[in-house]
Amino acid sequence: MNRWISPELFSAFEAQQTSAHRLFTGPNVWVERLGRDILISFKTDAARDDALCGLREWETQTGFQSDRVFSRFLPKQNAERVAPVLMEGSPNAPLQTVVSEGGVRYEIDFGAGYSHGLFIDQRANRAFLRERAPKRLLNTFAYTCSFSVVAALAGAQTVSVDLSKKSLDRGRKNFELNELPLESHRFFADDVLDVLPRLERRGEKFDAIILDPPTFSRGNRGRRWQVEEQMEKLLVAAIELAAPNALILLSTNCTKLNRRSLEVMARFVVKTARRGCEMHSEPPLPDFPPAEGAQTLWLHLR
């Protein structure tokens, strides 16, 4: 893409009540708008500084005025990830803010570490899930529960699973921000690989299941999670929990797994489970260059 989003696209986001989106994508940098704040994610200082100059020009063109600019270094190793740093704006304002996506509200926290709370590249998948209005949602690797929130707004009972209790607490807060009572919703701070067999033993079934794991992590008892090795096993376990006609979202940022390899793996697993399925991916987002962001595939099981 290597250019700023057009004033027309910006107006379209405003009209859709979407205040969390990309503004710019370059070779060593990208820029996100998060409410009235800006986050520049950069690999080199020069790319960050150029993006800041570009932002000023873009603001003049569109009339948008940001309150604060944060920047975040994109390291090669996950272990070197650090929280965003304030570059411009008041150091006394709270580090939390609220953004909106199609009118749905989410809290952003610039002080929470490397990730601020909302993966904007999942916007179309969240909208698709909401439109399909599943009755029962299982959201694995739920993070701040954005998929659970949209399903709940469409009337679903939800189960959100994440190792991080803190992330699930932020998820509960996102429910509250959208005036969703918590009664029909369960939050398990546990390892997905331990929770799925437990749900199966209880005979639970779901109409939609979200599988959006990290590339690498350590689960219960130090168990190593490596997406390219375990995505297949995860899908096998998820299919056991899938009701007839269920939807499953397969999603990954791992560069070793592209859409095609997700599709090949899914066909094999679905056939072995003696289920049928159709597949689709949502169209690319207008604020992202093609093939940037998560690789995602929806399975429509029979």
Ligand X SMILES: C[S@@+](CC[C@H](N)C(=O)[O-])C[C@H]1O[C@@H](n2cnc3c(N)ncnc32)[C@H](O)[C@@H]1O
Among 205, 237, 232, 213, residue whose Cα is nearest residue 134: 205
Q: Does 192 bind ligand X (CB under 6 A)?
A: yes
Sign of CA dihedral 272, 138, 241, 219: positive
Among 64, 146, 125, residue whose Cα is nearest residue 252: 125
x-or-dash string of contact with ligand X, 201-230, rule CB under 6 A: -----------x-x--x-x-----x-----
Q: What is the CA 237 to chain-centroid distance, rounded?
A: 22
Residues 6+ apart with CB under 8 A from 182: 172, 175, 176
Q: Does 167 bind ligand X (CB under 6 A)?
A: yes
Instruction: Among 40, 52, 104, 163, indicate the residue that binds ligand X (CB under 6 A).
Output: 163
HSE at residue 170, side-chain half, CA atoms within 13 A, is: 23
Tokens at residue 115, please?
A: 């990730």
Q: Are 179 and 118 in contact (CB under 8 A)?
A: no
- Least Å distance, CB 191 to ligand X, is 4
Instruction: Among 37, 107, 109, 162, indicate the residue that binds ligand X (CB under 6 A).
Output: 162
- Least Å distance, CB 91 to ligand X, is 28
Stretch that binds ligand X, among 10-18, 190-198, 199-207, 281-289 (CB under 6 A): 190-198
Instruction: Among 10, 58, 70, 119, indicate the residue that binds ligand X (CB under 6 A).
Output: 119
CA distance linking residue 135 with residue 169, whole number of Å: 23
- Least Å distance, CB 180 to ligand X, is 16
Is 51 or 207 the residue whose CB approaches ligand X more closely? 207
Is 47 or 156 the residue whose CB approaches ligand X more closely? 156
Is 62 or 158 the residue whose CB approaches ligand X more closely? 158
Residues 121-140 that bind ligand X (CB under 6 A): 122
- Least Å distance, CB 21 to ligand X, is 15
Q: Does 287 bind ligand X (CB under 6 A)?
A: no
Stretch that binds ligand X, among 32-40, 127-135, 143-151, 262-270 (CB under 6 A): 143-151
Tell me which residue has tokens 């709270």.
Answer: 94
Stretch that binds ligand X, among 20-28, 162-170, 198-206, 273-281 (CB under 6 A): 162-170
Instruction: Among 66, 146, 295, 296, indicate the residue that binds ligand X (CB under 6 A).
Output: 146
Question: Where along the sequence are the contacts to ligand X (CB under 6 A)?
Answer: 119, 122, 141, 143-144, 146-147, 161-164, 167, 191-193, 212, 214, 217, 219, 225
